[in-house]
Amino acid sequence: MLEIRNLHARIAEDGAEIIRGLNLTVKAGEVAAIMGPNGSGKSTLSYILAGRDDYEVTEGDILYNGESILEMDPAERAATGIFLAFQYPMEIPGVATMEFLKVAMNEQRKARGEEPLKISEFIARVKEVAGTLNMDMSMLKRPLNVGFSGGEKKRAEILQMKLLQPKLCVLDETDSGLDIDALKVVAEGVNSQRAPDRAFLVITHYQRLLEHIVPDSVHVLYKGQVIKSGDKSLALELEANGYAGVIGEAA
């Protein structure tokens, strides 16, 4: 489903290379964990997958279902089923969460050649999914993410994911800001959406999240490259011994 080949990317503004020859393959149905020390390029990778224009790809390719997405803008990527939940979700003052969800869902339907949802149908769907996340409908009248706590932001992201039913979900988690409730919201969101035709890239610094989401594969990102891949036991090894051993081996 996702194949990243020898990706090199730099910050557009100052030309600093952050991603330096990254290779990664994620199959449909797979949950892949991306781990790595702070500053290794995990969030940068998620921004590049989203298509943010602050980054330039200078070499390599990103294939989604066999086709390069490099020329696609962020809206096109979303329309083909790529979903990103960021470490720091964007606050959108002046746009009620409900309105944002409606636009997002209807844009996706438009891209698929479907009619917009009837308003009653839309509200019923949001209510149903919000209920599974213990989200109060009154929260959805507030502007998206503005003044939301860390946990509420995570709930809002998982709500979007459950409503949009994307195929490739990339979740960039805060390294330490998530309390156990927020971790469980994310984990339940991922676990309930696991499907043979859907893949997840779960980005995390600590093994803690992976106690709740058991990954099929674990990849260690360091200095913009995947330096080691393995199964879930690799996460446990990192938890026990830290990143130093794996970094030493790679060097």
- 142 touches 93 (CB < 8 A): no
Q: Which of 9, 10, 31, 44 binds ligand ADP (CB under 6 A)?
A: 44
Query: Please, which residue, 105 or 210, has the CB nearer to ligand ADP?
Result: 210
Residue 18 binds ligand ADP, judged by CB under 6 A: yes
For residue 219, state whether it binds ligand ADP (rule: CB under 6 A).
no
Q: How far is the CB of 109 from ligand ADP (least distance, A)?
A: 33
**Residue 203 CB, nearest distance to Mg ion (Å)?**
7
Burial class (CB in 10 A: 0-12, 13-18, 19+), 114: exposed
Give the burial class of 228: count Cβ atoms within 10 A of its Cβ; 0-12 exposed, 13-18 middle, 19 or more buried: buried
Do the beta carbons of residue 18 and residue 224 sit within 8 Å? yes
Name which of Mg ion, ligand ADP, none residue 11 binds, using a CB cut-off of 5 to 8 Å depending on partner kind: ligand ADP
Angstrom CA distances, 222 to 93, 149, 154, stand at: 35, 30, 26
**Considering only residues 6, 38, 132, 149, which one is a binding residue for ligand ADP as defined by CB under 6 A?**
38
CA distance 251 to 28: 31
Q: Which of 6, 27, 39, 131 binds ligand ADP (CB under 6 A)?
A: 39
Look at residue 103 and give the partner it binds from Mg ion, ligand ADP, none, a contact being a CB closer than 5 to 8 Å depending on partner kind.
none
Can residue 89 be called a binding residue for ligand ADP (CB under 6 A)? no
Cα three-residue angle 37-65-114, rounded to 5 degrees: 115
The reply on whether position 131 binds ligand ADP by CB under 6 A is: no
Greatest alpha-carbon pair distance for the chain in Å reads: 58
User: What character string, x for contact with ligand ADP (CB under 6 A) and - otherwise, covers 50-69?
Assistant: ----x---------------
